[in-house]
Structure formats: C-alpha cells, structure tokens
Amino acid sequence: MADERFTRKELNAGTLLAPLPAVMVTCGTPQAANVFTVAWTGIICTHPALTYISVRPARYSYGIIKETGEFAINLTTSKMARAADFCGMKTGKKTDKLKKCGLHTAKPFKISAPIISESPLALECKVKEIRQFGTHDMFIAEILAVNVDGRYIDSKGKINLQQAGLMAYSHGEYFALGRKLGNFGFSSHAK
C-alpha cells in the first residue's frame, strides 16, 4: 500500500550506505607495520571466504599492501574510536601510528602483518586481485584466518562478540553498537 504520509527527497547518487564498520587495517611487517582506517569494506563470499577493502592509491598503505599482498582487518570497539579516527587522518609515512595511539600488536596466525591486540577480532587476509574502478582500487582478498581475542570464545567454542563493545560508522559519525534486537532467524521461530 502506498504511504503518502511523509515526503521523500531524492539526493544525488552517492555512497550513503550506513552503518558500516570502520575497521583498522594493518599491513607491513612486525618491524615496519602500518595501520589505517577503512570504511569501504565488506564480505564478498562465504566459501571461499572473500573480503575486500577499497583503497585510494595515494594512501601510504596502498603500496605496502600491493607489495606484500597481505593485510589484516581489525574490528574496532568504542574504546578504539579515537585511535580509529586518528589512523584515518594521519599518514604512516613518517609516524608510527600504532605507537602514537598506544596500541599493541599481536602475532598473526597466517600472515606476516601484525594484528592489533586491542581489537576483539581480526581477519587475516591474502590479496587475490586488485580491481580499479575510479577513486578507489578494490583489494579482493581471501580470509586465511580469523584471529579472535580468547575472551570472546565461550565454553562451547562459539564466538560471542556482544561484550566486545563494537563500533559502527554512519555518514561521518562513530557510534557504539546498542541494544540487541534478536538473533539471526528470530522472526521465524514460532512463540
């Protein structure tokens, strides 16, 4: 049924998908690691587990990832909001952003680039393909390992990120994830 109660407005076509994760992408080596913030990311496929990050070629990290063929996607929490913003504002060309933000690194399982210890979950990724579109190049990557803070694995081995305090990004603003509304499929379970 058509709803005429409110006026809808057309805006110019743009990238207004929200909320998105603002992840911190680590790259490089344990001795020379860099980190930058990425909102243009997502999952492409379940099997094989494929993800992407879209990166402007001007970013310092772009060359590192292109050369090493690896990166890690570190999920961010409310506590990491300031660091995520900082690492998305400053280049790592001359600054050790991880150090400056007081972040620690942890050992990855399958790649060389370190992950961020403060992040509850990191995806260790290997680049499969780089696609050029315009402003950003898309790094399509295979997820080789999921690196989780053990505190978020319950006694049954299930990942439970509810207590992690994950953060979301919506049109230039950072938000703490709020109240849980239901579990996947909860609409289908008869009461």
Residue 120, helix vs strand vs coil: coil
CA distance 187 to 47: 26
The answer for residues whose C-beta is within 8 angstroms of residue 71's C-beta and 6 or more apart is: 25, 26, 27, 53, 61, 65, 111, 113, 125, 127, 139, 141
Closest distance of CB 145 from ligand FMN, Å: 22
Among 85, 112, 121, 161, binds ligand FMN (CB under 6 A): 85
How many residues at the interface with ligand FMN, by CB under 6 A?
21
74 forms part of the interface with ligand FMN (CB under 6 A): no
Tokens 């006026």 — which residue?
A: 7
Pick the stretch among 2-10, 32-40, 110-118, 155-163 that binds ligand FMN (CB under 6 A). Answer: 32-40
* Phi/psi at 129 (5° precision): -160, 145
The stretch among 31-39, 75-83, 111-119, 176-184 that binds ligand FMN (CB under 6 A) is 31-39
90 contacts ligand FMN (rule: CB under 6 A): yes
The residues that touch ligand FMN, with contacts defined as CB under 6 A, are: 22, 34, 36-40, 54-56, 59-61, 85, 88-92, 136, 169
